[in-house]
Chain A
Amino acid sequence: MTWAAIFVAAIGCYLLKLTGLSVPQHILEHPKVQQLAVLLPVALLSALIFVQTFAEREHLVVDARAAGVAVGVIAVILRAPFLVVLTLAAATAALLRVL
């Protein structure tokens, strides 16, 4: 199933890229469509953040992950580079699990 999902994602993402290059411009220029394209990633990323931080299958937990993400948030606020943010978050979670 994972391979099927990979191919579905690949085809879907590719078609979106190709569509933009191919479709009549008046459709994509609709302000609501452009607004949706800006806001959809915001909603998706936010949902992913909450689910990836607090969800364990179908339960909600607060564990070392949450602490790691909290440190990541601070790093982002402090404008740390992407890889530094990830490293600090991972290191925090790993450290808490060892202690």
Chain B
Amino acid sequence: MDRRYPAAMATDDRDVIRDGIVVGLATGAYGLSFGALSDAAGLSLLQTCALSLLVFTGASQFALAAVIGGGGAPMTGAATAILLGVRHALYGLRLSRILKVRGWRRAGAAQLVIDESSAMSFRDDDHQSRLGFWWTGLAVFVFWNLATLIGALGAQTLSDPTVLGLDAAAPAAFVALLAPRMRSRQTWILAILAGLVAIAAVPLVPAGVPVLVAAGSAALVSWRMNLKEPLDGDTTRNDAATVAGRMQKDPTEEPS
């Protein structure tokens, strides 16, 4: 046990498990909105559920559905979804040290590497870190997929889901996902640059491509930048309430 912290602050395994389930429920709740949005974008129920089962990454799924709904080529949506998933490779860097999994267990663990499971794996000792990862990952997986199904079924009962204004909900979702990442003037500049490049590209290239053009430009610019803000956030507040509160505002926030 870590002796730096007084016993009063020590959490036991049940707390870690409970926290994981709470975050799973909170995250799953907005799977409802993905299910509805994906259906509104024109994907079938099976396609919507496949996205939540196979891709299992909030921002990537929203992006793929949004590109298809906007008339873009599905492959450009896939490319956007993959680019949005690059951060998961970095999560794995830290997690590999803690999880120590090989073979099939590593294959299974990989599917569960998401923002929430990574965030909940920041614990004082490795055992609780592993508990946090697995319980959060599994809880989110179960609830996210259930909620996706319910959301998609709910949207299907309407003859024209866009009458609900769901096409405004997708960009609003991206605003909510973006807001917590705006930590410095440099990120603001990059965001505005990317937005302007994308807008400028809309009349010039097929639907779905402007986002990739903006991403490419931003990647070039960011390689030359020296980010002044810290890449790791504050690691002291990782109790369930704080994480769940953060996840409510930003389901894809980096672990901190």
Contacts and interface: CB of A to CB of B under 8 A. Distances in A.
B74 A86 contact: no
A1 B74 contact: yes
Contacts of B195: 46-47, 49-50
Contacts of B176: 72, 76, 82, 85-86
A47 B217 CA distance: 11
A22 B106 contact: yes
Interface residues of A, number: 79
Most buried by B among A5, A72, A81: A5
Interface in A23-61: 23, 25, 28-29, 32-55, 57-60
Contacts of B192: 46
B85 A12 contact: yes
Given A9-B77, A10-B55, A55-B202, A40 B92 contact: no
Nearest to B29: A83
Given A40-B218, A42-B190, A89 B54 contact: no
Contacts of B165: 64, 68, 89-95, 97
A65 to B, nearest CB: 5
B16 interface: no
A5 B167 CA distance: 21
Contact of B202 (A44, A60, A85): A60
B208 to A, nearest CB: 9
B137 to A, nearest CB: 11
Interface stretch (B5-13, B120-128, B245-253): B245-253
B169 A86 contact: yes
B154 to A, nearest CB: 13
B225 A39 contact: yes
A16 B89 CA distance: 5
B231 A68 contact: no
Contacts of A71: 172
Nearest to B182: A42
A96 B3 CA distance: 59
Given A17-B110, A47-B194, A81-B248, A8 B78 contact: yes
Contacts of A17: 85, 88-89, 91-92, 110-111, 113
Interface of B: 29-30, 32-33, 43, 47, 50-51, 54-57, 59-60, 63-64, 66, 68, 70-71, 73-75, 77-78, 80-93, 95-97, 99, 101, 106-107, 109-111, 113, 163-179, 181-182, 187, 190-199, 202-203, 206-207, 210-211, 214-215, 217-219, 222-223, 225, 227, 231, 248-252, 254
Q: A-B pairs with the 6 shortest C-beta distances?
A: A20-B92, A68-B168, A72-B172, A43-B218, A93-B165, A5-B74
18 contacts: A1-B75, A17-B91, A18-B92, A35-B222, A37-B86, A39-B190, A40-B218, A43-B218, A45-B191, A49-B178, A55-B210, A57-B207, A82-B173, A83-B30, A87-B169, A90-B168, A90-B169, A90-B172
Interface of A: 1-10, 12-14, 16-23, 25, 28-29, 32-55, 57-60, 64-65, 67-69, 71-73, 75-77, 79, 81-83, 85-95, 97
